[in-house]
Amino acid sequence: MNKPAGVRFFRRAGATIQSSGAIDTIRKFFANQIILRALHATGIVVQNAGRHIAQIEDVIAGFRALGVNVTKVNNFKSSTRRRHTTDAEGVVAEKDSVVEDTNPSNDNATTMTNDEPDVEEAGDDNSSQLTSNTTVSHRRRAKPGAVARRQVRALQRSNQLLIQPTPFRRAVRNISTLIFPVDDTDERSSSNLKFSKSAILLLQTVAEAMILSLVSFACDVTHICRRKEVSDNDVNFAINHINYKLG
C-alpha cells in the first residue's frame, strides 16, 4: 500500500485531516498483520490439500482460521458508510462560478462625439480602453478543506477498491515468496504458493474491508476527543482495542 492509497482509506472513512504517522501505521499494519498472516494461513490450507494454487475456498478457510468471517465483508463496507465528522455532513456541492467583470465600461463602449478630438485626450482614451478591455482571468482557489470534502463524497459514493490491483498482486507475490521459498524441483516457479485471480480479488476485498473498519474506528476516537486530525495514537488505540482475532 502506498501513501495515496492510505489517504483514500481515511477519505472514505470521513476524515479530512490525518497525520503522516497515522498513514504509516495503517500501511505497516496492512502489510505485516493482515496480508502476511492471511497468506500464511492460506498457504497452510493449500499445502494440507496437496495443491500449489490457492482458490477462493482456500482464502476463505485461511481467514476463518484467523477468526475473520468473510461472509460479513459487505457488512464491513456498509458500516463504514455512516459519517461521524461534522466536516463531511451537510456539505453542499460546490459549483464553479464564472468570474464576472464588474466594470460597466466593458458592456457599453464609450464613443467620442467630437469629430476632431485633441491629441492628448485621444491618447488618454486609448489607454483607458486598453485597460478596460483587457480582463485578467484569475484562477479560483478553493477554500481550505474543500478538496478533501469533495474527495470524501466521491469515495463514499463508489464501491471500487482503494488499492490498485497490480501493486497488490506484486506485494502478494513478494510476500508469498518470502513465506514459501522457491521450489528447487521446479525451475519455472518463484514460490510454492500461487494464487488465482479470483482468490487475489477476494483477499484484497477482505483486507481493505478490515483496514476500512479500523480507520473508521480511529476516526470515531478522534471525533470523541473533539479533534479534527487523526493521529497515529488514534490508530494504535484502534489496533489494540478492535477485535480482529488475528493470531
- Is residue 15 over pLDDT 60? yes
- Is residue 50 over pLDDT 50? yes
Report how far residue 85's alpha carbon sits from residue 15's, in angstroms, rounded to the nearest whole number.
7
Mean of per-residue pLDDT scores for the chain: 75
Do 67 and 247 meet the contact criterion of CB atoms below 8 Å apart? Answer: no
Report how far residue 35's alpha carbon sits from residue 66's, in angstroms, rounded to the nearest whole number.
12
Burial class from Cβ neighbours inside 10 Å (0-12, 13-18, 19+) for residue 192 reads: middle
- Is residue 161 over pLDDT 60? yes
**Residues forming beta bridges with residue 229, ordered by sequence position:** 17
Do 16 and 88 meet the contact criterion of CB atoms below 8 Å apart? Answer: yes
- Is residue 162 over pLDDT 70? yes
Of 41-45, 56-60, 63-67, least confident by mean pLDDT is 63-67
Strands 229-230 and 17-18, sheet pairing: parallel
Report how far residue 135's alpha carbon sits from residue 103's, in angstroms, rounded to the nearest whole number.
10
